[in-house]
Amino acid sequence: MPSPYRAIFAAPGTLVFTTAGFIGRMPLSMMGIGIVTMISQITGRYGLAGALSAALAMSAAVLGPQISRLVDRHGQRRVLRPATLVAVAGVAGLLICAQQGLPDWTLFVFSAVAGCVPSVGAMTRARWAQIYQGSARELHTAYSLESIIDEICFIFGPIVSIGLSTVWFPEAGPLLAALFLLVGVWWLTAQRATEPKPHPVEQHTGGSALRSPGLQVLVAAFVATGAIFGAVDVVTVAFAEEEGHKAAASLVLAVYALGSCLAGAVFGLLHLRGEPSRRWVLGVCAMAVSMIPLQLAGSLPFLAVALFVAGLAIAPTMVTTMALVEAHVPRSKLTEGMSWTGTGLAVGVALGSSAAGWVVDAHGAAAGYGVPGVAGVLAAVVAFLGYRRLRRPVPTREGQRERDSQQAEERGEHVA
């Protein structure tokens, strides 16, 4: 392991909570595609399968920040365990209703309940933020590691979920995802030494973390970014089917995630100077530009190469986003702030998937890549318009001294 990554694990308990977080995060990439595979296997209705997956995503987008807000107030253990039990119960109900052929409305009800799944990635990032509070370089490496873990989940999660549901039995993919969630969250919340301290209600002045102007820019841009991801997934499956190799879609999408994973690993080794807001705008623009080659895709090998290159911009942009969230959101609302970015992505994925599906049905897969192209342009526009809001954090009274001290340290590093 390269020395910067080895160094961040010198703090006690970091390896354990990272491993637990990895297990608990696997459902992020397994549950939605597992539901689509399960429903299509049982009923043959892809429209219903897609609608249920969207219902799950939208429910998680609504409930996720609220769960994280409670975590900031009461602590991870007290909130995550009950929320996880509710989510697992929702998945269990969905599987039973699907297997028994019960009415469609029951499937939507339990999909919505399953959306109570907590944002495990936000929980582990909050732990890193507490351990390396004020240490910009270590946090940069830690957030890079978290992005690598995200991409590893997206490389292997869909392959495992689809494989189990098609080879074993239709419910196997979502069932394993629920087990991963249960084990991961229970193991993570058992690590009390690294759990961020909760902040009492009286410290939560000013309402939601989303009232931060900087966070609003990040979430708006992430809606467009999520549309890129959702559209690319749908169109790539359709493109592979038109090419006569539908099964190859999972491999092509794994290459997309691999590009991001490798870029995140390298990015974590760098000791970057300058404004994170400028790097973030450049990253969003790079993601937009990387959509151009997709418009020229004529074969699966070309598409795989184009997606690998496009993936190189993802993880560095995500890492910088987390650093900006920390700078613009009070520490008492940090977990909630990180969850809002995930909400933006989830909403964008649902919108992008729907738009891409409509374009593919109307004009074919090749035209479908225009959807992520447009989404990339929108993300870049939001980034440019919101740049001034991101340049300077506006700290609240809470954490004022802490932020002043951190900024002084960073200025000292820049001078050096």
User: Contact, 28 vs 153, CB < 8 A?
Assistant: yes
Token pair 């996720």: residue:
64
User: Contact, 141 vs 5, CB < 8 A?
Assistant: yes
User: Which three-class secondary structure state does DSSP give residue 296?
Assistant: helix
- For 208, phi then psi, to 5°, come to -70, 155
Rg value, the chain, Cα: 21
User: Contact, 306 vs 21, CB < 8 A?
Assistant: no
What is the spatial distance between Cα 252 and Cα 300, in angstroms, rounded to a whole number? 8
For the chain, domains (ranges, CATH) are 1-198 (1.20.1250.20), 208-416 (1.20.1250.20)
From the number of C-beta atoms within 10 Å of its C-beta (0-12, 13-18, 19+), residue 410 rates as middle
DSSP state for residue 284 in the 8-state scheme: H
Which of 264, 260, 259 shows the shortest CA–CA distance to 145?
A: 264
Q: Which amino acid is at 177?
A: A
User: Contact, 334 vs 73, CB < 8 A?
Assistant: no
Counts of helices then strands in the chain (DSSP H, E):
18, 0
Contacts of 112 (CB under 8 A, 6+ apart): 55, 56, 59, 90
The pLDDT tens digits along the chain (416 residues) read: 457 778 888 888 889 999 999 999 888 878 877 887 788 778 877 667 777 877 888 888 788 888 888 888 888 888 999 999 999 999 999 999 988 888 989 999 998 999 888 888 888 888 888 888 877 788 888 888 888 888 788 778 877 887 788 778 888 888 999 999 999 999 999 988 888 887 665 444 556 666 777 788 888 998 999 889 888 877 887 788 788 776 677 788 888 888 888 888 888 777 777 788 888 889 999 999 999 998 888 888 899 999 999 999 888 888 888 878 877 777 677 777 777 887 888 788 778 877 877 787 778 888 888 989 999 999 999 998 888 777 765 544 334 434 444 444 444 443 33
Task: Let me know the angle formed at the C-alpha of 383 by 216 and 54, rounded to the nearest 5 degrees.
Answer: 60
Half-sphere exposure of 128 (CA within 13 A, CB side): 30
User: Contact, 64 vs 118, CB < 8 A?
Assistant: yes
In order, the DSSP letters of 56-113 are: HHHHHHHHHHHHHHHHHHH-HHHHHHHHHHHHHHHHHHHHHHHHHT--HHHHHHHHHH
State pTM to two decimals: 0.75
From the number of C-beta atoms within 10 Å of its C-beta (0-12, 13-18, 19+), residue 348 rates as buried
pLDDT at residue 302 in the model:
92
